[in-house]
Chain A
Amino acid sequence: MGWIGDGLESIRSLQIRQVLSQAVSLGMIVTSALIIWKGLMCVTGSESPVVVVLSGSMEPGFKRGDILFLHMSKDPIRAGEIVVFNVDGREIPIVHRVIKVHERQETGEIDVLTKGDNNFGDDRLLYAHGQLWLQQHHIMGRAVGFLPYVGWVTIIMTEKPIIKYLLIGALGLLVITSKE
């Protein structure tokens, strides 16, 4: 009867190994995603290197669901660049084009006015009450690259959270049940 005991023993040890290796590979996926994200933050110098366009204010250039890659270099902001900025009191950053720049003589501080290509007027109505200009600290980055449609994944997931949970559940199940 010794061979049954050996068999049971081998199965048990195999399962522990399998569970461990699956946990490790799951950890690898999560950490490598984190490494890529943080690495992009270092390379681009922007606190959010990739943004999804949420509104139609830059149509027909950028539509809802398109992805923009941001870069924040030391170069000063100039008219015509598409910048992503945060306004005090608003949570969601805005992607619009710079139409006016005033740069101070000694300090190099800048006053910037933006406008969406598809909007009729400039952005002073979107700024905080009484704010006429954006300063450097409002600006999170300038758009350098563009990829269409990919952002729909995140838009769908934030607007229909049930799909997000279904997807995470299915992926988790796949990782647990996969044999290799």
Chain B
Amino acid sequence: MHSFGYRANAVVTFAVTILAVMCSIASLSDNFNNPSPTADIKVLNINWFQKQPNGNDEVSLTMNISADLQSMFTWNTKQVFVFVAAEYETPQNALNQVSLWDGILPTKEHAKFWIHTTNKYRFVDQGSNLRGKAFNLTLHWHVMPKTGKMFADKIVMTGYRLPDSYR
């Protein structure tokens, strides 16, 4: 009953249980955080806009992205992954989501930022539907915790339109 093995077993079991409970509490405490993020994206320029030889439209644009995601950070936040996606509908596809830019916010200090950038990933359509196309720019974020549940949400910005002709 009181051998070394039994005592070691009891200590390890107790320690693991406490660790599991603390991890659960840390993850649950994220639910009490009410974030109030803000974001603004301006399309400054359409650098070029053309049809690829395989028939897909491709566009290159310059954006100015500013956002404040500081309120996403809690004590259980390891990092916040943030990305901007163009979202639009075409006759063929009910939804197209094309990631244009992404970044990792490692700390709260980095979470209020602005960046002047061209699209990091190619903005290519499936087909040739981009001329005069209205699209949304959506700022998504994905909160990656130190432990437990991951959170994701977005801010949708509407009212962007591509030019009517290739350039």
Q: Which residue of B lies closest to A61 (CB)?
A: B144
A117 touches B104 (CB 8 A): yes
Q: Which of B79-136 contact A (CB under 8 A)?
A: 79, 81, 83, 85, 91-99, 102, 104, 106, 121, 126
> Does chain A have a CB within 8 A of B149?
yes
Interface residues of A in 6-57 (CB under 8 A from B): none
Please determine whether A99 and B102 come into contact, CB atoms closer than 8 angstroms: yes
A146 CA to B148 CA in the complex, in Å? 5
Known: A117-B104, A143-B150. A104 touches B121 (CB 8 A): no
Chain B: interface residue total (CB-CB under 8 A): 33
CA distance A100 to B93 in the complex (A): 13
Instruction: Please name all residues of chain B whose beta carbon is closer than 8 Å to the beta carbon of A78 when the two chains form the complex.
Output: 97
A143 contact set on B, CB distance < 8 A: 150
From A80, A100, A146, A147, contact of B140 by CB (8 A): A80
A interface residue count range (under 10 / 10 to 19 / 20 to 34 / 35 or more): 20 to 34
Check B97 against A146 for contact (C-beta < 8 Å): no
In the complex, chain A residues whose CB is within 8 Å of the CB of B83: 79-80, 99
A99 in contact with B99 (CB, 8 Å): yes
Q: Which chain A residue lies CB-closest to B23?
A: A147
CB distance from A115 to the nearest CB of B (A): 8
Please name all residues of chain B whose beta carbon is closer than 8 Å to the beta carbon of A117 when the two chains form the complex.
Answer: 81, 102, 104
- B142 proximal to A (CB < 8 A): yes
The answer to whether residues A102 and B126 also contact, given A80-B85, A117-B81, A145-B150 and a CB cut-off of 8 A, is yes
Q: Is residue A60 within 8 Å, beta carbon to beta carbon, of the partner chain?
A: yes
Give the chain B neighbours of A79 by CB distance below 8 A. 83, 85, 97-99, 140
- A146–B96 touching, CB < 8 Å: no
Contact: B92 with A101, CB < 8 Å? Answer: no
Q: How far is the CA of A61 from the CA of B94 in the complex (A)?
A: 31
Chain B residues within an 8 Å CB radius of A99: 83, 99, 102, 121
- A111 close to chain B: CB less than 8 A: yes
Smallest CB separation, A139 vs chain B (Å): 15
Contacting residues, chain B, for A102 (C-beta < 8 A): 93, 95-97, 126
Q: Does B45 contact A (CB under 8 A)?
A: no
Do A100 and B98 have beta carbons less than 8 Å apart? yes
**Chain A residues packing against B (C-beta within 8 Å):** 60-62, 78-82, 97, 99-105, 108, 111, 117, 122, 143-148, 174
Instruction: List 13 additional contacts besides A97-B81, A108-B94, A117-B81; criterion CB under 8 Å.
Output: A61-B79, A79-B83, A80-B81, A81-B152, A82-B150, A99-B102, A100-B121, A101-B95, A101-B97, A111-B126, A117-B104, A146-B144, A148-B146
